[in-house]
Every structure is written in structure tokens, then in C-alpha cells.
């Protein structure tokens, strides 16, 4: 009599990781926690690992990253720019892994194990990508983006001169660096050198984008989509977003 014994190493490790994550106490996800995690990564001499993002006490997103601190920081920034999110209800758990264990940690299996017990996971619902890409601008938003659209009236700090003007290039750079969500634009160098008058504009993301479209004029279009804002010289339509076309005074 004979048989073949097959040891499912990846699934066994994934079960152990899940069990360990389940019993690990959660930490609030905020800037102070991110800094503490960074210190722990330096002490442990490793930054790679797996983590669970928790919202209102329920696991919502399972991830694996080469730098767990950086990835959680990106998640926190993203969630700060979303509607229907209570930031004080965010927490996380993380397990750092050495090189051998990082190879054995299978993200897909781990996600599947959590999904068996927890409904409404953000994995596969559009939460993970940093920027889904230009081809996704016109497609139907994923479940996460539908439920948690961007905060379009997010305030931007803009340094104006005494005439309430600023260089267009400086304004667009300020918006891109400050917004906690995707802001994509393609503006030629000549227009970037121009000055835009913001005397009549509120300094919220959507109002500033409308002011930029007005400034650039015919042929330019901005759009507020579920996961961010875009600006191009184009007649492209955004069926699942709000289009911003030049408005004449």
C-alpha cells in the first residue's frame, strides 16, 4: 500500500498568519501610530509584512507590502479624503516578516481566509490601487468608490500675491501635493507659466479646478470622478463623474 503526502505549505503559513493577526491587539491608525510603526521597523531591521486595516471594529482590507508603514500611511491619506469615513474608527494590525517568511506569505490565500468570516471586505472593491489609471476614468466605480467618494470641497492652501494671483504651475503643483486623492493633469509649459486670478474663487479642490478650466478656456475639461480629479485638453466624456467645462463670466 502506498500514497502521496502533499504538504500545503503556503496555506498552512497563511492559516498561522491569520490566527496570529486575529489575536493581536489592534492599534489606532493615525500619524502617531505610523511613526511608532516606523520605529519598530527600524528596530526589527525589516519593513516587509502583512497587515489588516480595520474599520469600526471589522477587518476591511488585507495587504502585503515591502514597507508596511509606507502602505498604511498611504491608506490613511486616502481615507482622509473620502466621504462617509470616520477617521477615529480606523485601526490596524501588522506582522513584520523576514525574507523567508515574506516569500511564504501568500496574499491571495490570506485574503480568502478573512473573506470566509468577514463580509464587505474592501479587497477587490477598488480600495487598493493608488491610481487606477486614465483608462478607468470613464468606467463605473468600484464598490468602495461608490460608497466613499472623494471630498470635493477639500481645502487647498494657496499662496497668492497682493492681486490674488498665482502661477498656474504653482497652483496645480499645490493641488497635487495637498490632495489626499488622485489629481492628474496634462498642461503645456506655456500655460503653466501663466498667472491665474483667484479673487472670485473659493480655495476648495472643485472650485479651484473649475477656475483652472475657466482660465485655460475652450477645449479644456476637468472632471470630478469617484477616486479623484483630472484635467485635460479633451472632449472626453465622464459618464460616472462631474464634468467641468469653461464658464464664461
Q: What is the pLDDT of residue 131?
A: 76
Q: What is the pLDDT of residue 9?
A: 58
- For 129-138, what is each residue's pLDDT tens digit? 777 777 788 8
34 and 87 assigned to the same domain: yes
Please report whether residue 4 resides in a domain: no
Please report whether residue 28 resides in a domain: yes
Mark the ranges of the chain whose per-residue pLDDT is less than 50: 7
In the chain, the number of structural domains is: 2
What is the signed CA dihedral for 75, 142, 57, 27, rounded to 10 degrees? -10
Residue span of the structural domain in which 171 resides: 134-244
Q: What is the pLDDT of residue 7?
A: 47
**Of the residues 84, 115, 146, the one at which a domain ends:** 115
Residue 143 main-chain phi, psi, to 5 deg: -60, -45
16 and 111 assigned to the same domain: yes
Radius of gyration of the chain (CA): 22
102 and 144 assigned to the same domain: no
CB atoms inside a 10 Å sphere around CB 40: 15
194 and 93 assigned to the same domain: no
Q: What is the pLDDT of residue 104?
A: 63
Q: For residue 66, give the CATH number of its domain.
A: 3.40.1440
17 and 45 assigned to the same domain: yes
13 and 106 assigned to the same domain: yes
Residue 177 main-chain phi, psi, to 5 deg: -75, -30
Q: What is the pLDDT of residue 246?
A: 95
* CB-neighbour burial class of residue 121 (10 A; exposed 0-12, middle 13-18, buried 19+): buried
83 and 140 assigned to the same domain: no
Q: What string of DSSP letters covers 38-91?
A: HHHHHHHT---EEEEEEETTEEEEEEEESSHHHHHHHHHHHHHTBTT--GGGEE
Q: Round to whole Å and give the CA distance between 179 and 172.
A: 11
Q: What is the pLDDT of residue 13?
A: 80
Please report whether residue 126 resides in a domain: no
DSSP assignment, residue 158?
-
218 and 154 assigned to the same domain: yes
15 and 108 assigned to the same domain: yes
Please report whether residue 125 resides in a domain: no
Q: What is the pLDDT of residue 178?
A: 97
**All three cell numbers of 220:** 479644456
**All three cell numbers of 49:** 509584512
Please report whether residue 181 resides in a domain: yes
Tell me which residue of 106, 100, 98 sits closest to 13, measured CA to CA: 106
Length of the chain: 249
Contacts with 102 (C-beta within 8 Å, 6 or more apart), sequence order = 48, 49, 64
Please report whether residue 1 resides in a domain: no
Tell me which residue of 78, 180, 55 sits closest to 128, measured CA to CA: 78
145 and 178 assigned to the same domain: yes
111 and 143 assigned to the same domain: no
101 and 150 assigned to the same domain: no
Amino acid at each position: 500500500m502506498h500514497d502521496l503526502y502533499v504538504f500545503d505549505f503556503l496555506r498552512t503559513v497563511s492559516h498561522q498568519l491569520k490566527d496570529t493577526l486575529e489575536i493581536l491587539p489592534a492599534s489606532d491608525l493615525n500619524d502617531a501610530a505610523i511613526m511608532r510603526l516606523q520605529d519598530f521597523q527600524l528596530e526589527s531591521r525589516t519593513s516587509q509584512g502583512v497587515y489588516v486595516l480595520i474599520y469600526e471594529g471589522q477587518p476591511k482590507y488585507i495587504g502585503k507590502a515591502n514597507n508596511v508603514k509606507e502602505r498604511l500611511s498611504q491608506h490613511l491619506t486616502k481615507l482622509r479624503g473620502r466621504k462617509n469615513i470616520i477617521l477615529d474608527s480606523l485601526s490596524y494590525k501588522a506582522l513584520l516578516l523576514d525574507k523567508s517568511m515574506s516569500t511564504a506569505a501568500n496574499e491571495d490565500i490570506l485574503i480568502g481566509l478573512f473573506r470566509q468570516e468577514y463580509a464587505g471586505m474592501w479587497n477587490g472593491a477598488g480600495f487598493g490601487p493608488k491610481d487606477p489609471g486614465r483608462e478607468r476614468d470613464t468606467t463605473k466605480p468600484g464598490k468602495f468608490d461608490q460608497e466613499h467618494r472623494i471630498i470635493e470641497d477639500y481645502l487647498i492652501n494657496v499662496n497668492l500675491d497682493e492681486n490674488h494671483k498665482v502661477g498656474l504651475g504653482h497652483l496645480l503643483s499645490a493641488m497635487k501635493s495637498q490632495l489626499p486623492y488622485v489629481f492628474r493633469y496634462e498642461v503645456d509649459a506655456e500655460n503653466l507659466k501663466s498667472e491665474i486670478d483667484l479673487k472670485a474663487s473659493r480655495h476648495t479642490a472643485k472650485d479651484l479646478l473649475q477656475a483652472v478650466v475657466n482660465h485655460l478656456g475652450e477645449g479644456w475639461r476637468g472632471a470630478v470622478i469617484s477616486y479623484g480629479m483630472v484635467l485635460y485638453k479633451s472632449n472626453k466624456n465622464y459618464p460616472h463623474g462631474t464634468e467641468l467645462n469653461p464658464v464664461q463670466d
